[in-house]
Amino acid sequence: MNNTQLLSNSVVALLSVDRLDAEARAAASAFVAAGTAANTVRSYRSALAYWAAWLQLRFGQTLEMEPLADTVVVQFILDHLARPDAGGWRHLLPPALDAALVDARLKAKLGALSYNTVRHRLAVLAKWHGMKNWPSPTETAAVKTLLREARKAQARQGVTVRKKTAAVREPLEAMLATCTDGIRGLRDRALLLLAWSGGGRRRSEVVGLQVGDVRRLDADTWLYALGVTKTQTDGARREKPLRGPAAQALAAWLAAAPASTGPLFRRVYRGGRVGTAGLSSDQVARIVQRRAKLAKLDGDWAAHSLRSGFVSEAGRQGVPLGEVMAMTEHRSLPTVMGYFQAGTLLGSRATSLLTPVLPVGSDASAPSDELCSDVRYSEP
């Protein structure tokens, strides 16, 4: 028997060259799930569950049947985005259907969704179609035009896209000043300073750090290593420096809660007992919110406040943008520029054109009601 006959006899079933079989599709889906951050997977599942329920209630259709038409997506937008109408706001989702989605715990409350939520649901739908090798209905001109005009209509009525408050230097220092509650305070101080001074780390990156990822370089410098992140997915380790207060806070936390392996930031229980379990992403957000509340800071605080605050403060202090992006690992220039420019404008002469300019040779340190006013952080 020759090799060709052996190969022929060993083949159980030939595969189609133009489509994947069920086992291959399942394997591909497993790779996608394994390569996606846990928070992202949860948000995708939640959004897809909502799409499935809305489709069933609105059209009697299932998500698995076929690619959705762009008219279905247009209806979704009209059902969920409020539009100004006769002095009020109106959306097309029938009240009974709205109540059914709330009763099923797929929707938090009755009423329209925010623009950001609708955009996220559309992004997840596009991802779903991509995984099915279907054309995405979100890319049509009708959908894009409707979204653009809806955003403009809401903006004219004073509805803005909400962003988390940026923790620039002053609010960060106010949060740090609250970290006086023993071992919990040491942990929170180290976490806040690493996440902020270490380049505005995402909460998933903070909770992913292990004790073995940090090492002391000298008396005033530590290094921490990042692996897989949202924008760096190849797993190559990159070391980032921690200096000054951030390095000191990390050293104090590790001295108070020594460990040779496991998560860098762990849960603290009543009585100051440090556990072995690491913090979750949600717990990082709650730490930021708790410290902001203790510091009596106004604003909408979250874990992202540390990332946006780092970039804004860097712009405020004139740090070159390239150095900032090397720390943050932003890939999108428009995204980082939004925060960076906000910081640079705080110190721009263009914002102080009515401030008297001191004559050449004058004493710049002389007191002046305008030049030496107490600058405080405030939310617009």
| Helix H or strand E segment including 127 | helix 115-131
Q: What's residue 159's pLDDT?
A: 63
Q: What's residue 19's pLDDT?
A: 54
Q: What's residue 186's pLDDT?
A: 97
Q: What's residue 22's pLDDT?
A: 63
- β-bridge mates for residue 170, sequence order: none
254: left (phi over 0), alpha (psi -120 to 50) or beta: alpha
Would the pTM of this model clear 0.85, i.e. be above it? no
- Average pLDDT by stretches of 10, the chain with 380 residues: 50 51 58 57 84 90 88 93 79 91 90 90 91 91 91 75 84 97 96 95 92 92 84 76 95 95 95 93 94 95 93 91 90 80 75 67 46 35
How many Å apart are CA 33 and CA 50, to the nearest integer?
Answer: 19
Chain position carrying tokens 């329209």 = 112
CB neighbour list of residue 250: distance below 8 Å, 6 or more residues apart: 190, 193, 194, 214, 222, 242
CB atoms near residue 192 (< 10 Å)? 24
Q: What's residue 295's pLDDT?
A: 96
CB atoms near residue 178 (< 10 Å)? 19
Q: What angle do CA 154, 306, 295 make, to 5 degrees?
A: 95
Residue among 113, 137, 120, 128 at smallest CA distance from 43: 120
How many Å apart are CA 276 and CA 324, to the nearest integer?
Answer: 33
Average pLDDT of the chain? 82
Chain position carrying tokens 């004073």 = 158
Q: What's residue 350's pLDDT?
A: 76
For residue 54, CA distances in Å to 62, 98, 123, 124, 283 come to 9, 9, 16, 14, 31
Q: What's residue 366's pLDDT?
A: 44
How many Å apart are CA 81 and CA 104, to the nearest integer?
Answer: 20
- Domains of the chain, earliest start first: 22-156 (1.10.150.130), 169-350 (1.10.443.10)
Q: What's residue 132's pLDDT?
A: 86
Q: What's residue 135's pLDDT?
A: 92
